[in-house]
Structure 1
Amino acid sequence: MHKLFFISFIVLNIVISSNAKYSRSPATNKELKAILKHSLDLGCKYSGVDDDGEFLDWYKDDVPVSSEKSGHYVVHNSQTESKLTIKIFVPSDGHVKKWSVKTQKSGFEEPIECQFNKIIPKRSPQRIDTNRPAEKLEASHSSIRRYRGEPVSFKCIIEPEPVNKTFNEIKWEFSKDDTTYSVLTDDITYENKVNIIIDSIEKRHRGYYRCTLNGISFTVLLRVKDRLAPLWPFLGIVGTVALLVIVILIFEKRQKPARKAAGTEDEEHNRAKDPLVRTPNKSVDDENKKRAVKA
């Protein structure tokens, strides 16, 4: 009885194992490539009759990724699928010769169907440098400010760098609003397709400059300022003060005659009420003059 059970168990395992099937994702057998500083997913799917791939962990050159620094690699396991996410693909990831997943399933401890060979970094823009040595734009959407009349240059940094130093496939474009891009204007010069130069910046040069290679783009917004721009707030204050002074002077000039007339009227009114001040009587004065003539 025990022998029969044991034989049945073995036969069942053989049947299950014979129906076990692992497949990789991406499924292509071609050379796998990745973009530096971008994420990449490697997957292994199980489609056996028992619906359990018994996944454990992913390995790079037989070193478990779980032993690496937290956050760089993320593993998601289910019964039917295991996925490794390389959060940010870096040059050291390109040095790994083999990527694989391990399981607890007998005979499929490291399924060959889910093994990946060396991942080749794909050439792409990684940053933009300007004509200022310390100005290195690492974000894919950056911005800089320049004054009118200044020169500026943008250099598209490509990694890995081509051995022959040629960058014929790089494409530079310009847009006013970061939506519709077109070729650069004639007053912008190229230097080995990787570097563009504007000798004297004008208002029309304000906008977005984008370099693209292998479907990856880096964009920089050029903001153009007038050299007198910092003085505008000060000039605005001075103009406002000057206007207020002019208004006050005009108001004072118009009010002066009215105040003078009002002052004279008040003075006469006060003199009339003052008992010490003699009010001349015209009739009395005329009578005195007549008397003087008769005498």
Structure 2
Amino acid sequence: MTHSQLLVIFFTVSSIIFIVHAQYIGKPQTTNEIKAVLKHSVELKCEYTGEDGNGQFLEWYKDGVAVSTEKAGHYAVTTTEKESTLTIKIFVVNDTAVEFWQVKTNKLGYEEPSECRFGKISAIPSPQSIETNRANEKIESRQGSIRRSEDKAVVLKCIIEPKPDNYDENEIVWEYSKDEESYSTLPPSVTKEGDKISIEHVKKFHNGFYRCTINNVTFPVLLRVKDRLAALWPFIGIVSVVIVLVIIILIFEKRQKSNKKSSTDDDDQDQANDPLVRATTNPSDNDTKKRAVNA
């Protein structure tokens, strides 16, 4: 047996040993049902633990279509020699329709490792938004808020998607926080009924954060309570400005009149004290006296 033949046999045996010891692990385990929360991220990971240390990962697929061909931004793939991770950035309803998710490799005999072939991902019931007793008022952001004046009524309804089959097994919990740091029981006069809470006459102490929770997923909303006269403050401010302007104008006009009168009196006094003025007026006085005598 030649040296070259021995090398071929060696590499062949080595490849067989590596293949035998090649092992892929899927996380979460493919034997378990995968569940996720809508509008949250989901990760599917394939790890390679073979002795050669290189899983030779190629691409992730959903129902046989490469995720790289999908709309940019929805999926993200990170790959090293030992692992490859598919991240669904925002899990949506359309993702629940996918029958299987899979990573493919360039590893001989393990091109489609069954350990990294994931089945359908189902959405668990979770709060997705909050509706109120006002038409078209819906809070869809977890940083959302609503405003109410004192003594007004408010109703908060937790919108669950997908809807649970049995609300008894998926109880909705409502809690309250003054500062969103620590939550506790609801304030007095807040009535809870199923998926909603209501306050018949909202007061200042009702101001704060309210959140609904189901399956350990929460959705908060901030209730801002305004003073009953809050709506009048802009009007009062405008009236106050007008009154101040009127007062300023009256004071200004009064000072103008006073200055004008003082100026007139000063002019008359100056004329009386002026000798030229007296000289011109004296002849007139004499002529008047002469006309009176002749008459």
- Provide TM-score, normalisation by structure 1: 0.81
Between the aligned partners of 1:45 and 1:198, the Cα distance in structure 2 is: 52
Q: In the comparison of the two structures, how many residue pairs are matched?
A: 278
Partner of residue 205, structure 1? 206
How much identity, in percent, do the aligned residues show?
51
2 CA distance for matches of 1:135 and 1:261? 67
Residues 113-144 of structure 1 deviation map (CA, whole Å, 9 limit, x = unaligned): 22323323222111111112322221122112
Q: Which runs of 5+ in 1 are unaligned?
A: 279-295
Pick aligned residue for 2:10 from 8, 11, 20: 8
Q: Give the Cα–Cα distance (whole angstroms) in 1 for the partners of residues 205 and 13 of structure 2.
A: 79
CA positional deviation for 1:231: 3.8
Q: Cα RMSD (Å) of the superposition?
A: 2.9
C-alpha separation in 1, matches of 2:18 and 2:245: 95
* Aligned residue number for residue 91 of structure 1: 93
CA–CA distance in 1 between the matches of 2:152 and 2:169?
Answer: 27
Taking the aligned partners of 2:122 and 2:169, their CA distance within structure 1 comes to: 19
Q: 1:32 aligns with which of 31, 34, 39?
A: 34
Q: How far apart, CA to CA, are the structure 2 residues paired with 1:20 and 1:115?
A: 16
How far apart are residue 210 of structure 1 and its match? 1.2
Which of residues 109, 112, 115 is equivalent to 1:110?
A: 112
1:28-177 alignment, distance < 5 Å = 29-166=31-168, 169-177=171-179
The alpha-carbon deviation at position 58 of structure 1 amounts to 1.9
**What CA deviation, in whole Å up to 9, does each residue of 1:33-58 have, x standing for no partner?**
21111111111111222221111122
Change (3 A) 1:133 1:248: closer
Does structure 2 conserve the Cα–Cα contact (< 8 Å) formed by 1:174 and 1:183?
yes
Compared CA separation, residues 15 and 240, structure 1 to 2 (3 A): same
Amino acid at match of 1:57: E
Q: Is the 8 Å Cα contact of residues 140 and 217 (structure 1) preserved in structure 2?
A: no
**Counterparts in 2 of 1:123 and 1:276: CA distance versus 1, 3 Å:** same
Give, in whole Å, the separation in 1 of the partners of 2:221 and 2:46.
39
Instruction: Report the more deviating stretch, 90-99 or 135-144.
Output: 90-99
Distance 2:146 2:94 in 1: 32
Output the TM-score relative to the length of structure 2. Answer: 0.81
Preserved contact between residue 78 and residue 85 of structure 2 (Cα < 8 Å): yes
Paired amino acid for 1:149: D
Q: What's 1:195 paired with? A: 196
Is the CA contact (8 Å cut-off) linking 2:187 and 2:206 kept in structure 1? no
Aligned to 2:220: 219
CA distance in 1, matches of 2:161, 2:83: 33
Structure 2 counterpart of 1:236, one-letter code: G
- Segment of structure 1 superposing worse, 20-29 or 9-18: 20-29
Q: State the alpha-carbon separation in 1 of the partners of residues 258 and 54 from structure 2.
A: 105
Deviations 1:77-98 (A, max 9, x none): 2211111111111223223343
Name the structure 2 match of 1:284: none
Q: Deviations over 1:167-203 (max 9, x none)?
A: 76322122222223221112111121x1011222233
Report the residue type matching 1:202 in the other structure.
Answer: K
> Aligned-pair distance for 1:15?
1.1
- The AA in structure 1 aligned to 2:124 is K
Give the aligned partner of residue 243 of structure 1: 244
